Structure 1
Amino acid sequence: MSDADDGRLPELDLRLTEENLNDFYEHAPCGYCSCLPDGTLVKVNQTLLDWLGYTRQELIARQCLQELLTIGGRLHYETHCVPLLLLQGQVRELSYMLRRKNGTTLPVLMNSVLLRDTNDQPLVVRVTLFDITDRRKYEQELLRAKMQAEEQREQLARANEQLANANEQLLVKNEQLTRINADLDSFVYTASHDLKQPIDNMAGLFAEFKRSATIPDADAASMMNMFEDALQQILSTIEGLTAVVQQQRQLEQIPEEAVAVQPLTEEIVRILQPQVQNAAFTLNFTAAPTLRLARPSLHSMLYNLLSNALKYAEPSRPPSIQVSTALADGVSVLSVQDNGRGIDLKRHGSELFQLFRRFHPEVAGAGMGLYLVNRLVNQAGGRVEVDSTLGQGSTFRIYLPR
């Protein structure tokens, strides 16, 4: 090293070279002690005395190192540590609990070295002890965290098993429901088909009866009209049931496609508008010009909602119907809003999509339109939401996957 290099070194405080080695031993940040091969203490530093609460006179030549350990630690020291010292001359990082004078314990980590005399006989054991209280707390925290993690893992495994069992049961129930629904559809279709012919025969016979019979009773005419209305209601219900099942079966065979909403809606409006000449339609499909589902499904949804909007128009004002699309949270929304009679949702909300439910008896109908709309939407993987105020109108929103 050159003189120039020596000149760049920082000047040392000479007091550092006068460090008292005895003071360094006594007040080291760890415990020091020396003991005879049998464990009798012959030297202890002040740090260890402070940890244990003993005076030097109480330990030197009066107690053995192993007597400062707990019972389990003493057994380990005598059966494991001492043989290793004699065999290897040193041991490292053995964990023990020291017993303080007041009865409490202190976790320490022990390193020991065995010195021998000139005849290779054991002379003295030098021991270094490190306070691992904080480390022990940390290890205990880790152990608790590990136990909690294991418990949570077991709970999660049990929950997953329960969920798997629940899913399996749900699949079984879904299969059962699918079979039941298929059986019900077949039953409804068969029953309605088998009933249609006898009802048609009854209608024909009744028409012939009205044409040929003469009944002098003045009340007979009104009763016959009531019977004819009931007969027509039965026919309408049977035809509606048949149509629902037939349409469901047909739609299951038709693939989904991107259907342009504007021309389809305009076609339905042209069909319906002659029923109500003063009806106003507003169409806006800018947000979602196409919807992905089977074309007959979309046609049926729109036809039923628009025909209902006209059928249940408020007599005191011209019908105003707005049809639009929007995008919300990754789904397409088809909305049909009218200014008609509205529905009391607090009273009828839970029955809204039930078969044959009608909420305005004064208006002729079979009560199958909303049932069919909801069924078609569910089949397409969507849902229907309704806002309605009695006397002001209704808004039907159909949420469909994109």
Structure 2
Amino acid sequence: MSEPEDELLPELDLRLTQENLEDLYEHAPCGYCTCLPDGTLVKLNHTLLTWLGYEVQELVARKCLQELFTIGGRLHYEMHCAPLLLLQDQVREISYTLRRKDGSTLPVLMNAVLLRDIDKQPLAVRITLFDITDRRKYEQELLRAKVQAEEQSKQLARANELLVTKNEQLTRINSDLDSFVYTASHDLKQPVTNMAGLFQELKRTATFHDPDAAGMMSMFEEALQQILGTIEGLTEVVQQQRELEQVSVDVVELRPFTEDIIRSLHPSEHEAGFTLDFSAVPRLRMARPSLHSMLYNLLSNALKYASPDRRPQVRVSTAQGDKEVIISVQDNGRGIDLARHGSELFQLFRRFHPEVVGSGMGLYLVNRLVHQAGGRVEVESEVSSGTTFHIFLPQ
């Protein structure tokens, strides 16, 4: 220690220890008052008088405690509080509203103690009052917030009910549309097939002298084949959707599964180079028919829309996301102008390379199957450079 340990502390001023009890009572942070058992006021501190705006001579022996309350407070005091005081000699934390001299109000919390004489008869009541203006505002704000939350909850419940109803309607509409498409395509297939047969017989037996007849015949035959292809595609989409709803989920080893799909492609397309990288996610839990249709359509498109200027190169790989598996199919083909066709990419019958034969249903089917599995499809593409499809599947 820097100072000698035996150095005396300054002498304490004993006046600091002398408290004025009357001053403590008068200027306490709460209101004090004393009244007779009938409520007649006999003493009030300065704090309470300041709150009320009265002078002491206006209240002492002139008014009762209950007269300082609002009408509802008076009734409560006389019918509940006063009998309770007589029964148990005290009450605690009862909320009342005082009415000031100017007519304004002040919310308070009241504690009361009943004093008795030596014969156990009621002598006086000591009252302590706490200003709870801020607390009352806070309670009112909480109440308003609660009412708003309840109203929002009701609105959300109504919105959820409406959403469920809309979903049910959409499900029924989709089911009806699928049934309609399947029935219409099935009913149209036979007449169109008959027309194709009749046309072949007409080509075999009829003779046309018009020099333009051959071209027109060829155009008519192409139109027939296009109609047949469209009908078969529609039937396949609906039929496959119905079949997939009944298929169970399975664990698929991706490398042999993808190799089987590549082998199933047309032999002339085997000139393409395939790179498979499933090291990040070697197996996937999914319905086999769904996965087969996704990969088959993407791989066949990669070969179908290959660039005529270079050997097709196709890479299939997997990556692990936070809560999803990503399957990517990348090619070096013709590419797609996403700025022009991006919004139409997965629409039914949409084709972006008219010079290549196709039905325009492959990407529609891929997108539909991915969404059915709870995932999404993202596309990167550059014209004349190639396209990459990223399939995000939940795990």
With normalisation by structure 2, the TM-score equals 0.77
2:202 to 187, 202, 205: 205
Structure 2 residue 250 is matched with structure 1 residue 257: yes
Following TM superposition, by how much is the alpha carbon of 1:336 offset from its aligned partner in structure 2, in angstroms? Answer: 1.1
CA distance in structure 2 between the aligned counterparts of 1:333 and 1:89, rounded to whole angstroms: 74
Alpha carbons 1:34, 1:41 under 8 Å: kept: yes
For 1:181, give the aligned amino acid.
D
Please state whether the residue corresponding to 2:336 is helix, strand or coil.
coil
CA distance in structure 2 between the aligned counterparts of 1:196 and 1:58, rounded to whole angstroms: 110
Alpha carbons 1:244, 1:372 under 8 Å: kept: yes
Following TM superposition, by how much is the alpha carbon of 1:74 offset from its aligned partner in structure 2, in angstroms? Answer: 8.6
Alpha carbons 2:233, 2:361 under 8 Å: kept: yes
For 2:71, give the aligned amino acid.
G
CA distance in structure 2 between the aligned counterparts of 1:278 and 1:230, rounded to whole angstroms: 31
The 5 Å alignment of 1:138-177 reads: 138-177=135-174
Alpha carbons 1:85, 1:113 under 8 Å: kept: no
Alpha carbons 2:49, 2:55 under 8 Å: kept: yes
The 5 Å alignment of 1:260-279 reads: 260-272=253-265, 274-276=267-269, 278-279=271-272
How big is each residue's C-alpha offset from its partner over 1:330-361, in whole Å with a ceiling of 9 and x where there is no partner? Answer: 23222211111111223222332333322111
The alignment's C-alpha RMSD in Å is 4.0
The 5 Å alignment of 1:1-400 reads: 25-26=25-26, 30-34=30-34, 43-52=43-52, 63-66=62-65, 69-70=68-69, 72=71, 75-76=74-75, 79-80=78-79, 84=83, 92-93=91-92, 95-98=95-98, 100=100, 104-108=104-108, 109=110, 111=112, 113=114, 125-130=124-129, 132-133=130-131, 135-209=132-206, 213=207, 215-245=208-238, 247-248=240-241, 250-272=243-265, 274-276=267-269, 278-400=271-393
- What is the count of residue pairs matched by the alignment? 382
Following TM superposition, by how much is the alpha carbon of 1:46 offset from its aligned partner in structure 2, in angstroms? Answer: 4.5
Please state whether the residue corresponding to 1:264 is helix, strand or coil.
helix
Alpha carbons 2:251, 2:284 under 8 Å: kept: yes
**For the structure 1 residues 187 and 128, does the alpha-carbon distance in structure 2 shift closer, same or farther, using more than 3 Å as the test?**
same
**For the structure 1 residues 182 and 400, does the alpha-carbon distance in structure 2 shift closer, same or farther, using more than 3 Å as the test?**
farther
Please state whether the residue corresponding to 2:347 is helix, strand or coil.
coil
**For the structure 1 residues 375 and 154, does the alpha-carbon distance in structure 2 shift closer, same or farther, using more than 3 Å as the test?**
closer
CA distance in structure 1 between the aligned counterparts of 2:77 and 2:150, rounded to whole angstroms: 41
For 1:287, give the aligned amino acid.
A
Q: Larger C-alpha radius of gyration, 1 or 2?
A: 1
CA distance in structure 1 between the aligned counterparts of 2:49 and 2:195, rounded to whole angstroms: 111
Aligned-residue sequence identity (percent) comes to 50
Alpha carbons 1:196, 1:238 under 8 Å: kept: no
CA distance in structure 1 between the aligned counterparts of 2:88 and 2:274, rounded to whole angstroms: 101
Following TM superposition, by how much is the alpha carbon of 1:206 offset from its aligned partner in structure 2, in angstroms? Answer: 1.5
Following TM superposition, by how much is the alpha carbon of 1:284 offset from its aligned partner in structure 2, in angstroms? Answer: 0.8
Which residue of the partner structure matches residue 4 of structure 2? none
How big is each residue's C-alpha offset from its partner over 1:55-78, in whole Å with a ceiling of 9 and x where there is no partner? Answer: 5566556x3344971452795499
Please state whether the residue corresponding to 2:329 is helix, strand or coil.
strand
For 1:186, give the aligned amino acid.
T
Alpha carbons 1:35, 1:64 under 8 Å: kept: no
Following TM superposition, by how much is the alpha carbon of 1:172 offset from its aligned partner in structure 2, in angstroms? Answer: 3.7
How big is each residue's C-alpha offset from its partner over 1:113-164, in whole Å with a ceiling of 9 and x where there is no partner? Answer: 466698x998x6353333x11x343144224413431442243134214412
**For the structure 1 residues 386 and 111, does the alpha-carbon distance in structure 2 shift closer, same or farther, using more than 3 Å as the test?**
same
**For the structure 1 residues 50 and 317, does the alpha-carbon distance in structure 2 shift closer, same or farther, using more than 3 Å as the test?**
same
With normalisation by structure 1, the TM-score equals 0.76
How big is each residue's C-alpha offset from its partner over 1:27-63, in whole Å with a ceiling of 9 and x where there is no partner? Answer: 55555555567766555545545555555566556x3
Which sections of structure 2, spanning at least 5 residues, go unmatched? 1-11
Alpha carbons 2:32, 2:128 under 8 Å: kept: yes
Alpha carbons 1:313, 1:339 under 8 Å: kept: yes
Which residue of the partner structure matches residue 7 of structure 2? none
**For the structure 1 residues 76 and 117, does the alpha-carbon distance in structure 2 shift closer, same or farther, using more than 3 Å as the test?**
farther
Once structures 1 and 2 are overlaid, which stretch shifts more, 339-348 or 12-21? 12-21
Following TM superposition, by how much is the alpha carbon of 1:393 offset from its aligned partner in structure 2, in angstroms? Answer: 1.4
**For the structure 1 residues 199 and 144, does the alpha-carbon distance in structure 2 shift closer, same or farther, using more than 3 Å as the test?**
same
How big is each residue's C-alpha offset from its partner over 1:12-37, in whole Å with a ceiling of 9 and x where there is no partner? Answer: 99879976665555555555555567
